[in-house]
Amino acid sequence: MNARTSPGFGAGSFLRLSLVVPSLVLGTGLGCATAPAGPPPPAGAPLQPVAVKCELANRTFKQTSPGACGSSDWRFVLQADGSWQATESGCANASGIARYDGSAVNLEFQYSGGAGRYIWPLDAQCRGLTGTVTWTQGPLTGQTVASTLALVQ
């Protein structure tokens, strides 16, 4: 048996090999580069970071401020879109829609005499830092003062 009569070594085989080999070489070099991988995560570790937030639902929070409303209580009810319906007890009995991203509560509120925005820094353990309240409508329009939100124990 020689190269001419041997199955798999004829002129057609050379042509097939000359087309296949370069595509194999190119296929392993193009588009397959990856960044060096670090060590694998420990067994049972989540693959993605898990966002931890203060649980606003079924709790009462106290707002304190040196402004027009020295203190009031707020309750939050989770809505289907991820926002929170907020209701105030005390002061102006305001209400509004809040958004919480895990680091701050941003509440657009309305009351019978006006409207405004609270921005309260709030960490995952429900610890509040000093934020602000800004009135956008009514007799206090344009005023901004400090405000803090804290979990009522």
User: What is the structure's pLDDT at 127?
Assistant: 94
* Cα-based distances in Å from 95 to 37, 98, 106, 110, 111: 50, 9, 13, 6, 7
Domains of the chain by residue range: 60-151
Region 114-132: what's the mean pLDDT? Answer: 96
pTM for the whole structure: 0.67
How confident is the model over 83-99, as a mean pLDDT?
97
Residue 149 has pLDDT above 90, yes or no: yes
Interval 52-76: pLDDT, tens: 899 999 999 999 999 889 999 999 9
The answer, yes or no, to whether residue 146 has pLDDT greater than 90, is: yes
Distances (CA, A) of 134 to 19, 115, 122: 71, 9, 18
